[in-house]
Amino acid sequence: MILMTALTETAEKIKNMEIRGAGKIARSAAEAMKEEALSIKTKDIKEFNRRMEDAYNILYSTRPTAVSLPNALRAVMRYKADTVEDAKTAIAANADAFISGSENAVKKIGEIGAHRIKDGDTIMTHCNSSAAFAIFETAYRQGKDINVIATETRPRQQGYVTVDFLQKSGIPTTLILDSAVRYTMKKVDLVIVGADAVTVNGSLVNKVGTSQVALAANEARVGFVCAAETYKFSPRTLFGEMVEIEERDPTEVLCNELRAKWPNLKISNPAFDITPHKYIDMIITEIGAISPEMAYWVIKDKLGWELEEAAEASM
């Protein structure tokens, strides 16, 4: 029997999507690492380091696509200490810095992104992104008359979470089916979505269906903007690695009763897809609005990753 600790509880919640969205996953993982470090009783630094490595691996293996998770875990684990006491202090400070940095980044994205929104705009979004929501909320608070069209986002209906946020903030909202995206695009002025990962060539990994929204926006000549904190940029892609697309349980797509009725039916349930950089007009980060082509610079200069380091992390 596996003993449930605060850390395994957080890991379970990330797996079953009680905790979801790349930013929230990263902040919760950082907090769980801090709590784990503070709860370890040993005075032996080697034993402490080993247990922190275990904690890292448990959280790392929860969901594979959002790069914010490994980036957060690595930020927390960037410590060198001879004593357990010093290690705990460093880990707690790293976790707190990551969490407040992440919250400030979302706020800053809201401020920068709101400049892109004009009074009277209709904006389409897909899934539920706190970074995208920060933009809507800031623009609305500035007194801009906006209407947000939210897709339902099958199969987990994250669109309902978006609708709930928007309605609670008083922002005029329209809910549409995912299949109504192209039909509805003619009423849209701008698309804003979040990110689970941005690759070194500026492509976007986000909730499955995002690339279809981008295609429809491109066809209708509607601007397509991504809101992403810089810790969503993927260092491993600098080394040529692909971002893994999570394949989730088939029961999310079809209930057990119907699966039993068609025992030979195969079900594919990818949770994310890739939007090529050529469909993205702009990525709004906390360090400014950048073109997708600047992703290499963000990974190298802002996140400080070199090719050797990316290679090491991929081992």
Residue 315 burial (C-beta neighbours within 10 Å; 0-12, 13-18, 19+): exposed
Which residue's C-beta sits nearest to ligand RUB? 194
Residue with Cβ nearer ligand RUB (28 or 87): 28
Among residues 49, 66, 54, the alpha carbon closest in space to that of 5 is found at 54
Q: Which residues contact 216 (CB under 8 A, 6 or more apart)?
A: 181, 182, 185, 222
CA distance readout (Å), 120 to 135, 143, 144, 188, 214: 15, 10, 7, 11, 22
Among residues 121, 214, 243, 205, the alpha carbon closest in space to that of 171 is found at 121
Residue with Cβ nearer ligand RUB (188 or 195): 195
Instruction: Output the smallest distance, CB 41 to ligand RUB, in A.
Output: 34
DSSP 8-state secondary structure symbol assigned to residue 233: B
Residue with Cβ nearer ligand RUB (26 or 37): 26
Residues designated catalytic: 127, 196
Residue with Cβ nearer ligand RUB (48 or 224): 224
d(CA 60, CA 74): 10
Residue with tokens 């939007």: 275
Binding site for ligand RUB (CB under 6 A): 20-24, 66, 127, 129-131, 158, 194-196, 206-207, 271
Residue with Cβ nearer ligand RUB (55 or 271): 271
Using only C-alpha atoms, what is the Rg of the chain?
A: 20
Instruction: Output the smallest distance, CB 269 to ligand RUB, in A.
Output: 11
Instruction: Output the smallest distance, CB 43 to ligand RUB, in A.
Output: 38
Instruction: Output the smallest distance, CB 309 to ligand RUB, in A.
Output: 24
Instruction: Output the smallest distance, CB 267 to ligand RUB, in A.
Output: 17
Q: Are 233 and 290 in contact (CB under 8 A)?
A: no
Residue with Cβ nearer ligand RUB (196 or 286): 196
Instruction: Output the smallest distance, CB 89 to ligand RUB, in A.
Output: 28
Cis? peptide before 250, omega within 30° of 0: no
Residue with Cβ nearer ligand RUB (84 or 299): 299
d(CA 233, CA 215): 22
Q: Which residues contact 200 (CB under 8 A, 6 or more apart)?
A: 233, 234, 237, 238, 295, 296, 299
Instruction: Output the smallest distance, CB 173 to ligand RUB, in A.
Output: 17
